[in-house]
Amino acid sequence: MSCTPSDTGGTGVPPVNHGPEAHATSSARRLRVGVLASGSGTNLQAILDRISSGGLNADVVVVISNNSDSLALERARTTGIEAVHWSEKKAGSPGQFVEGMLSILRTARVDLVVLAGYMKLLPKEVVSAFPGQIINIHPALLPKFGGPGFYGMRVHEAVIAAGEKESGATVHFVDNEYDHGAILMQQTVPVLRHDTPEQLRERVLAVEHELLPAAIAKFAQEFWNRKR
Ligand code: GRF
């Protein structure tokens, strides 16, 4: 199967702006990113596209999916990135799952773990092994419309049913609850009067594709500042 880069433009979110100084100081320091995804991986693709266009000083060093059919794995392979199918079922037990996950992430020496459409709660051992180094993208304006049960199209259905005038996307740090940690970045989109959940999903997803690379850039800046 071949993958084409997704369209990540035209959302009105300003592109990440690395000034000359930022480039000079960070050119030797590329953030090592591990991505976890379960589905089609368009957010992964947006990160890869931003990196290849020179707009994000990072490398995706490993992509992990609990779903062997995930397009995210295919996108990683196409780009020459290590792609690992790893699930509790494959591991055989929760303990072995955690051990394997930690081993994959540590071997890849990740600075940041990005949950980009990862449909599982990350085990607490993994969360505590990477304190403040795991982020997630959610297709709504948290803390609204987040938590157990708010995933996929259900999020957009709930937003419309509640009569919201605005929705959007949120990138937040991951803790031991679904969609719960501190917010890193958010971007709004309007909810239009006759929107279907599918139309709203498309509008939000376009914003996600801008927001996630921007949030990684913001994380990187703070990460390298802390290391100084
Ligand atoms: C996105 O809407 C993201 O916010 C949510 O899952 C979806 C993943 O989409 N957590 P994709 O696999 O990146 O296309």
Ligand 1 atom 9, closest CA? 117
In a domain, 87, yes or no: yes
Of 18, 23, 85, 138, the catalytic one is 138
Q: Can you give the residue range of the structural domain that contains 182?
A: 30-227
In a domain, 12, yes or no: no
In a domain, 22, yes or no: no
The count of structural domains within the chain is 1
Ordered alpha helix ranges (H), the chain: 20-26, 42-52, 71-78, 88-91, 94-107, 124-129, 153-161, 197-227
Do β-strands 166-173 and 183-190 pair in parallel, antiparallel, or remain unpaired? antiparallel
Q: Work out which ligand 1 atom sits closest to the CA atom of 137.
A: 4
In a domain, 15, yes or no: no
* Per-residue pLDDT tens listing for the chain (228 residues): 333 333 333 333 334 333 333 444 445 699 999 999 999 999 999 999 999 999 999 999 999 999 999 999 999 999 999 999 999 999 999 999 999 999 999 999 999 999 999 999 999 999 999 999 999 999 999 999 999 999 999 999 999 999 999 999 999 999 999 999 999 999 999 999 999 999 999 999 999 999 999 999 999 999 999 988
In a domain, 8, yes or no: no
Q: Which residue do the tokens 């929107």 mark?
A: 195
In a domain, 139, yes or no: yes
pTM of the predicted structure, to 2 decimals: 0.88
Determine the 3-state secondary structure of 98 from DSSP: helix
In a domain, 3, yes or no: no
Q: What is the CATH number of the domain that holds 74?
A: 3.40.50.170
The 31-36 sheet, strands edge to edge: 82-85, 58-65, 31-36, 112-115, 134-138, 166-173, 183-190
Residues at CB less than 6 angstroms from ligand 1: 37, 39-43, 116-117, 137-139, 205, 208
In a domain, 46, yes or no: yes
- Kindly give the distance from the C-alpha atom of residue 25 to the centroid of ligand 1, in angstroms, as a whole number: 32
User: In sequence order, what DSSP letters do the residues of 122-152 get, joined into one string?
Assistant: PPHHHHHHSTT-EEEEESS-TTTT-STT--T
